[in-house]
C-alpha cells in the first residue's frame, strides 16, 4: 500500500522554503564528525526529500484497566510530535520513525480499528514500500498485541523489544541498553496505579539516562500522546494527554515538568501549611473591613514571653515551666488565629471580587501583591 500524502516536517511552516532548508540542513549535517560513519547511507534524493528522518526511541503501550493507549518519543531532530507518535482512543498506538512515512501512523490505527491485528496491519503497511528497509515502526492494540519492524538499513544501534502491554523501538542509539532501560522501567511500574502518561515519560527518562540517541549536539525534541475513550480531549479527539516539546536541551525532562505541572501532580511545586504572623495580620485587616468574622469584637494580641530571664540562672526549673507555659499559649493562639484556613480563603475571595481583582484562572484565596496593596490601602483609609 503506497501512501497518498506525505507530510513534511519543518521548523516553522509547511509552506516555508526557508524552514525546509533549515530542516534539510539539520537532517543532512553531522555536528560530530565522528558520528557520520555510524549513520545510515544516504538514500536516493527522491526518498530523502519525501520523508523526514527521525533517529528515535519510542514506546507504545496500553493501560487495560484505564482503557488508555499511548506513545511517547524523543529524538535529536526538532518537532518529533508532528510525525512519529499516534494514538487513538479504543484502538491503540503507533510510532512511525527512522525515514518516516507520517501517514503510516493514521493508516496503522485505521487498520487496527477495522479489527486487524498489529502484525497483519504492519505487513499490509509495508507490503508495497520500496523503502521498507529504511523504516522503523511499532504498533499496539487494545488487546495488548504488538508488532514492530526495524529495517536493515536503520542506523546502528537499532532494534526493538516487546513485553506485556508495550513495544519499544529505537534506531541510531548508543546501544541496546537504551531499549532495555525503557522496557524495564515501564515493566517496573506495572500494577502501581501510576497513570499511563507518567509511566511512559519515566520509561523514556530511563532510556535517556543510558545515552539515548548517539547524535550528540543535535537539536532535540520529545512528545507524548495518551488516548482515553472517557476523556473528551480537544474537539473530540479523546487525547487525555498531548504534550510537544519542539526543541529543548533536555526535552524528556521538560516534558515531565510540563506533565506534572499541567496535571497538578504531586511534586510540581513545593508547599507547606501556611501559618504565621502574616496570616494574623491578614485576618486583622479583613476583620476591620468587615470581610472576616465581622461580629467578632477584636482579634486578641499574640502572647508575649514575660518570664524573668534571670530565672534561667537562679531557678532553672521555674524558668523552664514559664517557657513551657508560653509555648502552649503560643500554640493555642496560632491554632486559633494564625492558620490560613477555608474561612479566611473565602474572605479573601470576597474582597478580591468586590475590588475587581477576581481574574479568571486565579486560584482560591490568592494573596498576591495586588491583593496586599489593595487590602492595605483599604485598611489604612477606613473610617
- The number of beta carbons lying within 10 Å of the beta carbon of residue 326 is 15
Q: Using N-to-C axis directions, what is the helix angle for 316-337 and 277-288, rounded to 10°?
A: 50
- Residue 37, C-alpha cell as written in the block: 560513519
Q: Into which CATH architecture does domain 17-262 fall? A: 4-Layer Sandwich (3.60)
Provide the pLDDT confidence category of residue 156 given band limits of 50, 70 and 90.
confident
Question: H helices within the chain, ranges in order?
Answer: 17-28, 45-50, 103-113, 118-126, 177-188, 196-209, 251-262, 277-288, 311-314, 316-337, 342-354, 369-380
CA-based nearest residue to 215, from 23, 83, 31, 58: 31
Condensed to tens digits (0 to 9), the pLDDT of residues 221-249 reads: 999 999 999 999 998 999 999 999 999 99
User: What pLDDT, on a 0 to 100 scale, did the predictor assign at position 265?
Assistant: 85
CA-based nearest residue to 221, from 55, 38, 25, 42: 55
Tell which wins on pLDDT, 177 or 36. 177
- The number of beta carbons lying within 10 Å of the beta carbon of residue 53 is 28
- Residue 234, C-alpha cell as written in the block: 480537544
Condensed to tens digits (0 to 9), the pLDDT of residues 179-238 reads: 999 999 999 999 988 999 999 999 999 998 887 777 766 789 999 999 999 999 998 999
**CA–CA separation, 316 vs 350, rounded Å?**
50
Condensed to tens digits (0 to 9), the pLDDT of residues 321-344 reads: 989 989 999 888 888 899 999 999
Q: Where are the domains of the chain?
A: 17-262, 277-380
200 Cβ contact partners less than 8 Å away, ≥ 6 residues apart: 59, 61, 70, 71, 72, 186, 224, 226
pTM of the model: 0.71
User: What pLDDT, on a 0 to 100 scale, did the predictor assign at position 216?
Assistant: 67
User: What pLDDT, on a 0 to 100 scale, did the predictor assign at position 6?
Assistant: 34
CB 380 within 8 A of CB 288: no
**CA–CA separation, 36 vs 105, rounded Å?**
29
Phi, psi of 358 (to 5 degrees): -90, 85
CA-based nearest residue to 203, from 189, 223, 220: 189
CA 12 vs. chain centroid, Å, equals 23
**CA–CA separation, 293 vs 295, rounded Å?**
5
**CA–CA separation, 70 vs 219, rounded Å?**
24
Amino acid at each position: 500500500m503506497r501512501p497518498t500524502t506525505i507530510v513534511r516536517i519543518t521548523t516553522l511552516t509547511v509552506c516555508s522554503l526557508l524552514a525546509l532548508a533549515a530542516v534539510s540542513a539539520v537532517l543532512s549535517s553531522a555536528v560530530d564528525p565522528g558520528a557520520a560513519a555510524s549513520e545510515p547511507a544516504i538514500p536516493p534524493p527522491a526518498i530523502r526529500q519525501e520523508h523526514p528522518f527521525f533517529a528515535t526511541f519510542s514506546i507504545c503501550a496500553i493501560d487495560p484497566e484505564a482503557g488508555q493507549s499511548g506513545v511517547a518519543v524523543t529524538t535529536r531532530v526538532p518537532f518529533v510530535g508532528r510525525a512519529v507518535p499516534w494514538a487513538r482512543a479504543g484502538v491503540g498506538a503507533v510510532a512511525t520513525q527512522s525515514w518516516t512515512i507520517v501517514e503510516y501512523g493514521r493508516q496503522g490505527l485505521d487498520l487496527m480499528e477495522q479489527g486487524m491485528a498489529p502484525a497483519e496491519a504492519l505487513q499490509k503497511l509495508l507490503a508495497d514500500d520500496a523503502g521498507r528497509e529504511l523504516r522503523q515502526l511499532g504498533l499496539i492494540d487494545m488487546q495488548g498485541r504488538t508488532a514492530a519492524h526495524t529495517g536493515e538499513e536503520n542506523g546502528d544501534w537499532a532494534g526493538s523489544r516487546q513485553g506485556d502491554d508495550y513495544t519499544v523501538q529505537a534506531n541510531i542509539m548508543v546501544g541496546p541498553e537504551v531499549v532495555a532501560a525503557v522496557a524495564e522501567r515501564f515493566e517496573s511500574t506495572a500494577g502501581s496505579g501510576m497513570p499511563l502518561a507518567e509511566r511512559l515519560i519515566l520509561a523514556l527518562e530511563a532510556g535517556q539516562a543510558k545515552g539515548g540517541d548517539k547524535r550528540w549536539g543535535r537539536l532535540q525534541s520529545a512528545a507524548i500522546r495518551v488516548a482515553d475513550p472517557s476523556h473528551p480531549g480537544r474537539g473530540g479527539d479523546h487525547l487525555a494527554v498531548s504534550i510537544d516539546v519542539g526543541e529543548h536541551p533536555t526535552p524528556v525532562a521538560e516534558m515531565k515538568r510540563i506533565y506534572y505541572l499541567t496535571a497538578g501532580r504531586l511534586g510540581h511545586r513545593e508547599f507547606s501549611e501556611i501559618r504565621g504572623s502574616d496570616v494574623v495580620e491578614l485576618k486583622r485587616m479583613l476583620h476591620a473591613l468587615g470581610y472576616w468574622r465581622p461580629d467578632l469584637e477584636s482579634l486578641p494580641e499574640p502572647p508575649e514571653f514575660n518570664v524573668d530571664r534571670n530565672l534561667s540562672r537562679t531557678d532553672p526549673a521555674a524558668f523552664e515551666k514559664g517557657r513551657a507555659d508560653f509555648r502552649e499559649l503560643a500554640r493555642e493562639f496560632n491554632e486559633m488565629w494564625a492558620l490560613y484556613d477555608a474561612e479566611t480563603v473565602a474572605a479573601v475571595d470576597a474582597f478580591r471580587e468586590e475590588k475587581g481583582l477576581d481574574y479568571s484562572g486565579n486560584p482560591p484565596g490568592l494573596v498576591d501583591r495586588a491583593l496586599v496593596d489593595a487590602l492595605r490601602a483599604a485598611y489604612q483609609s477606613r473610617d
